[in-house]
Amino acid sequence: MLIPIVQAIGRSGKLLYIIVFLVIGYFVFQFFTKKSETSTIEYDTNLIQVQIKNVGKLVVTEGHFAEVLTYKDKKETYIPGLSFDKKALVVINADVTVGFDLSKVTYDIDAKNKILTITNIPKEEIKISPDFKYYDTESSTFNEFTGEDYNKINKIARANLAKKIEKSTLKTNAQNRLLSELSKMLILTNSMGWTLSYKGNEIKSDKDLQLNMVN
């Protein structure tokens, strides 16, 4: 009668050891395989920085404008009705680019609260490359064309071209391309469960981003 009891106790002890071993093995497995929240945050932060770097390029929209300018200058004399005039017909063809250097976008990463805040979006960079052709140039010995005249023509032409650019869709097209690039940040943050913020407002859609860029 005593022997079966001892055998039963022995089997129970072995079973207990097996159970304890399995429990310890499970926790050891969980410890080495489960990712910590810290490593996840670091991974998210590094991924966001890499993606923003990939977005950071120059977005450019190109256009072509033509301008015809009639330049006149009169040099009065002390004799009534007598003056020395000069004039020129100037045709200006200009290649214009409107761009945003996205490498200048600055941002702040709040890893703890999972918030990506855009702190600055650079203004557009407008580059005007004009080509001047002069026709019907007339001047007199006492009022010849000088470097100052050409500088005036250049200044007037650029001012007129700037007005045409403002009235055109060139800047709007450039802003739409900028919005398309910045939207990649929104897609990235949304896919990772982060929040995108700009000017103190949470950006939930492209429309929110566009409104905050305008204001």
Domain around 3: 1-34
pLDDT at 197: 93
Residues 87 and 170 in one domain: yes
> How far is it, in rounded angstroms, from Cα 6 to Cα 1?
9
pLDDT tens track of the chain, all 215 residues?
Answer: 534 444 444 555 566 566 655 656 555 555 555 554 556 677 778 877 777 777 667 778 999 999 898 988 777 666 666 567 788 899 999 999 999 988 888 889 998 899 999 999 888 999 999 999 988 777 766 678 788 888 998 999 999 999 999 999 998 899 888 888 888 888 888 888 899 999 889 999 888 888 777 66
User: What is the number of structural domains in the chain?
Assistant: 2
Are both 124 and 209 inside the same structural domain? yes
Q: Are residues 29 and 41 in the same domain?
A: no
What pLDDT is stored for residue 8 in this prediction? 46
Q: Are residues 40 and 115 in the same domain?
A: yes
Query: What is the rounded CA–CA span in Å between residue 121 and residue 61?
Result: 17
- 102 shares a domain with 163: yes
Same domain for 160 and 184, yes or no, is: yes
- Cα separation, 171 vs 161, whole angstroms: 13
Q: Give the pLDDT score at 104.
A: 87
Q: Are residues 117 and 103 in the same domain?
A: yes
11 with 97, same domain?
A: no
pTM higher than 0.85: no
Query: 190 with 162, same domain?
Result: yes
Q: What is the pLDDT of residue 117?
A: 93
Residue 108 sits in the same domain as residue 191: yes
Residues 49 and 28 in one domain: no
B/e letters for 39-52, b = 16+ CB within 10 Å, e = fewer, are: eeeeebbeebeebb
Q: Which helix (H) or strand (E) holds 92?
A: strand 83-101
Q: What is the pLDDT of residue 3?
A: 47
| Whether residue 44 is found in the same domain as residue 133 | yes
